[in-house]
Structure 1
Amino acid sequence: MKEALEHLGADLFLVSRDPEQMQAAMGTMDGIIDTVSFVHPILPLISLLKTNGKLILVGIPEKPLELPVFPLVLGRKTVAGSGIGGMKETQEMIDFAAKHNITADIEVISMDYVNKAMERLAMEEVRYRFIIDIGNTLAATKP
């Protein structure tokens, strides 16, 4: 979290297992972007939202999540999902990021490193996204 706040400039709260910290944060958030790609409870996230708050799911678990309707209705809260979007949405996101100096930390790899990258993913040793540099990999293999 320290890295996200200092290095990435994010204003965020990582879901805690500390009941006191969760209780103190309840009803304080305008929006949450949930990137988790495995089955997990979303009621704790919904509880963190203010009235009219939004929970946006971008991770895709292999099984459906349980959606508690009661706290959504009472709090006028919204749960939505988003994929990559079309060309227009992608360009809007790039323009927004450029305007606000939002950048991504990535690890550029060559195609011949993909198997090792997959091993690192399995061992949870990856901090940021891998970007496969296909163009330079192919150029390096030309005679």
Structure 2
Amino acid sequence: MQARPDEVILLPLFVSDKRLPGMHDAIAGLIAGGNRRFMIPTYGWIEFFSRYDGVELFGGPFLYAVNTLAYAEIVSKGVSYFTVSPDMYNERVVTISYRGHLLPRAFRKEFMATRLRLPDTCYRGEKATIRVAHYAEYDVVFEADK
């Protein structure tokens, strides 16, 4: 993969124990190739990245900081920025508390991730269309454009 130092690479939400060593090798290759910005969807990725200097971590769609104590702990581990969940109302976002650490809303409203395999079905409601995104080892239920 070509180095793209300005882009943020979104890591998978779940990687099985069997595939984890290969994923670690792939990420190490990306870092060695000049990629420095990674969005980690869960807290579990922080320990892996602690061995690399100069890597910038972004909190992804399932990395929650629900209070200032959780926020301070995650930031102390090297996460520099957080995305705002697309289901959060604008009036509930208080950016002054986080001194510029919030990023624009996530790219789509994700409702649930599961290791269960879901059917490739589109559910249409009055106000929303719900779809399933299939990844190698998990599925994500999300709100799609109508």
TM-score, normalised on structure 2? 0.35
Q: Which has the higher helix share?
A: 1
Q: Decide which structure has the larger Cα Rg and report it.
A: 1
Compare the two structures and name the one with the higher strand fraction.
Answer: 2
